[in-house]
C-alpha cells in the first residue's frame, strides 16, 4: 500500500477571535491550500474536526458551510468529534481516506470558537463529555488533573516545581510561535504563585480557552511528489480508548489510551521511543505531559519529571517536546489542537519551523481526548 503524505499545513492566529467558526475554518483551509499550491477543486474529501460548534455557537453543519465557503463542492465532507482529541481523530480519518483509496486529496481542518463564552460555560461544555456517574458529583477535567497531580507528586516524590517547569518550558517555546495565544515567557515564581484552580495545580498549569483553526493536506506519496519535494509521511498511527469512568482505572498515573495508541503507532512505523526526534504532547494540564512521556516510553514510570528538570525536553535538549509552545502557550481550541500538533511536526520535518526549528527526521504527536478516554498517536517522518 502506498504511503500517505502531508503536503501542506497551516494555522490561524490562536487566541481571542471575533470571527465565527466557519470563518476560522475557511482561513486555515485556504492558507493550507495556498501553502501546498493546491486548488480547492482538487479536494475529494474535506474533513472538519470540531467538538461542539452546536453547543458553543448554536451552529451545526459547519463542514458543509466550509465546503461552500472555500468552493470545494462537490467534495465529500464530514465532521469528526473525539472531544479534545478531535484533531488527532481527524488525522486518523484523513489517513484512512487516502489509504483506502476513497480520496486522492483530503484536507482536514480543525477548529473551535470558545472565548465568547465564559470560562465556566466552556468548562461545563467540556465536562459534558464525562460519564454522568462522575459528572453529577461535580467532576470536571481540571479536577481530575488536580487529583492526578497530587497522586503523582506524592507517589514518585516529585517536587511541585517540576510541574511548573513544564509551563515555563512551553511558554518559552511559544515566544517563537507567531500564532500562539501567549508569546511571552513566564518564570517559575509566577507559575507557583498563580491562583489555585485544582490543588495542587494553579492557573499556569492549565491551557487557556482559545479560538482558532488549523489545517493539513493529505494525499498518496506519488501525488505528493507531483507538487513538492518537501513533504512528510505518516509512518504510524493508532487510536485507543481507556475506561470512560476515570475512577475505574487501576493506576491513575497510567493512561491506557496513551500506552495502547503509542504501541500501535510504533508497531506500524517500525520506530520506537528512541527514534523520535521531536514530539508534540497534549499539555492541557502540565501533569499530562509527564503521563504521556511515560506512556509513550520516553521515560520510565515516575521519572518523566526528572527529564524535564534536566532540560532533556527543552528545545535544545535530547528530545524537544512541544516546540510549538504546546496547548499551554499556543492555546487549545478543542477541535484544532490535534491538527495544530500535526502542523508543528510537519513544519519541523520539512524545515519550515523558523526560529523553532530543531533537527528532526521523525516526529510524534499525541492527542488526548477527555481525560485519556480516547487517545490518538501519530508518527511522521520526512518524505524522500
Cβ distance to a second copy smaller for residue 242 or 289: 242
The answer to whether residues 353 and 336 touch, using CB atoms and an 8 Å cutoff, is no
Cβ(75)–Cβ(67) below 8 Å = yes
CB of 293 to a second copy, least distance (A): 20
The binder of a second copy chosen from 11, 36, 92, 165 (CB under 8 A): 92
Binding test (CB under 8 A) with a second copy, winner from 81, 277, 294, 344: 81
23 contributes a contact to a second copy by CB under 8 A: no
Contact 236, 264 (CB under 8 A): yes
Q: How far apart are CA 157 and CA 371, in angstroms?
A: 23
The piece of 127-135, 166-174, 219-227, 310-318 that touches a second copy (CB under 8 A) is: 127-135
Phi/psi region, residue 157 (left: phi>0; alpha: psi -120 to 50; beta: rest), is left
Q: Which residue bears the cell 486555515?
A: 28
Q: Rule CB under 8 A: say whether 373 interacts with a second copy.
A: yes
- 164 interacts with a second copy by CB under 8 A: no
Taking CB under 8 A as the binding criterion, the range among 214-222, 239-247, 271-279, 315-323 that sits at the site for a second copy is 239-247
> Look-up: residue for cell 484552580?
197
Lookup result for grid cell 481550541: 333
Size of the site for a second copy (CB under 8 A): 63
Distance CA 347, CA 178 (A): 14
> Out of 245, 247, 272, 318, which residue is the one contacting a second copy (CB under 8 A)?
245
Smallest separation (angstroms) from a second copy to the CB of 64: 4
Nearest to 217 by CA among 362, 324, 361, 346: 346
* Smallest distance from a second copy to CB 89, Å: 5
Contact 368, 82 (CB under 8 A): no
Rounded alpha-carbon distances, angstroms, from residue 38 to 136, 232, 233, 257, 374: 48, 16, 18, 35, 33
Question: Nearer to a second copy by C-beta: 102 or 196?
Answer: 102
How open is the CA angle 37-43-48, to the nearest 5 degrees? Answer: 105
Pick the piece of the chain touching a second copy (CB under 8 A) from 32-40, 100-108, 174-182, 352-360.
100-108
Under rule CB under 8 A, residue 289 binds a second copy: no
19 binds a second copy (CB under 8 A): no
Residue (41 or 187) nearer to a second copy, CB? 41
8 A C-beta contact, residue 22 and residue 62:
yes
Residue closer to a second copy, measured from CB, 325 or 372: 372
Closest to 346 in 3D by CA, of 266, 280, 272: 280
Told to check if 177 binds a second copy by CB under 8 A, we report no
Residue closer to a second copy, measured from CB, 164 or 379: 379
Whose CA is closest to 235, among 294, 184, 292, 277? 277
- Build a one-symbol-per-residue string for 39-78: x at contacts with a second copy by CB under 8 A, - elsewhere: -------x----xx-xx--xxxx-xxx-xxx--xxxxxxx
Q: Which residues contact a second copy by CB under 8 A?
A: 1, 20, 46, 51-52, 54-55, 58-61, 63-65, 67-69, 72-83, 89, 92-93, 95-102, 125, 128-132, 238-245, 256-257, 260-261, 369-370, 373-374, 376
Amino acid at each position: 500500500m502506498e504511503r500517505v503524505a502531508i503536503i501542506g499545513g497551516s494555522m490561524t492566529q490562536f487566541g481571542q477571535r471575533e470571527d465565527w467558526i466557519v470563518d476560522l475554518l475557511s482561513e486555515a483551509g485556504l492558507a493550507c491550500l495556498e501553502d501546498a499550491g493546491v486548488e480547492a477543486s482538487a479536494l475529494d474529501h474535506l474533513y472538519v474536526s470540531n467538538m461542539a460548534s452546536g453547543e458553543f455557537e448554536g451552529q451545526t453543519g459547519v463542514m458543509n458551510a466550509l465546503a461552500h465557503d472555500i468552493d470545494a463542492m462537490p467534495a465529500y465532507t464530514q465532521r469528526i468529534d473525539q472531544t479534545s482529541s478531535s484533531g488527532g481523530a481527524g488525522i486518523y480519518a484523513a489517513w484512512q481516506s487516502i489509504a483506502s483509496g476513497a480520496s486522492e486529496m483530503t484536507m482536514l481542518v480543525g477548529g473551535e470558537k470558545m472565548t465568547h463564552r465564559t470560562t465556566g460555560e466552556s468548562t461545563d461544555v467540556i465536562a459534558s463529555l464525562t460519564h454522568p456517574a462522575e459528572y453529577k458529583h461535580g467532576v470536571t477535567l481540571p479536577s481530575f488533573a488536580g487529583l492526578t497531580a497530587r497522586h503523582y507528586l506524592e507517589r514518585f516524590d516529585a517536587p511541585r516545581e517540576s510541574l511548573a517547569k513544564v509551563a515555563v518550558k512551553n511558554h518559552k517555546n511559544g515566544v517563537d510561535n507567531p500564532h500562539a495565544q501567549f508569546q511571552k515567557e513566564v518564570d517559575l515564581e509566577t507559575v507557583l504563585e498563580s491562583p489555585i484552580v485544582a490543588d495542587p495545580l494553579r492557573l499556569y498549569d492549565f491551557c487557556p480557552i482559545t479560538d482558532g483553526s488549523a489545517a493539513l493536506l493529505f494525499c498518496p506519496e506519488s501525488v505528493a511528489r507531483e507538487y513538492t519535494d518537501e513533504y512528510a509521511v505518516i509512518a504510524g498511527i493508532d487510536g485507543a480508548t481507556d475506561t470512560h469512568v476515570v475512577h475505574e482505572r487501576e493506576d491513575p498515573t497510567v493512561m491506557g489510551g496513551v500506552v495502547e495508541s503509542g504501541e500501535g503507532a510504533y508497531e506500524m512505523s517500525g520506530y520506537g521511543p528512541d527514534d523520535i526526534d521531536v514530539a508534540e504532547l497534549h499539555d492541557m494540564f502540565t501533569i499530562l505531559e509527564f503521563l504521556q512521556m511515560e506512556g509513550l516510553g520516553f521515560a520510565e514510570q515516575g521519572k518523566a519529571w526528572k527529564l524535564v528538570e534536566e532540560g532533556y525536553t527543552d528545545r535544545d535538549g535530547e528530545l524537544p517536546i512541544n516546540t510549538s509552545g504546546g496547548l499551554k502557550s499556543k492555546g487549545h481550541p478543542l477541535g484544532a489542537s490535534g491538527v495544530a500538533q500535526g502542523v508543528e511536526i510537519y513544519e519541523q520535518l520539512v524545515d519550515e519551523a523558523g526560529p523553532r526549528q530543531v533537527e528532526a527526521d521523525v516526529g510524534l504527536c499525541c492527542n488526548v481526548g477527555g481525560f485519556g478516554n480516547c487517545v490518538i498517536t501519530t508518527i511522521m517522518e520526512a518524505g524522500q
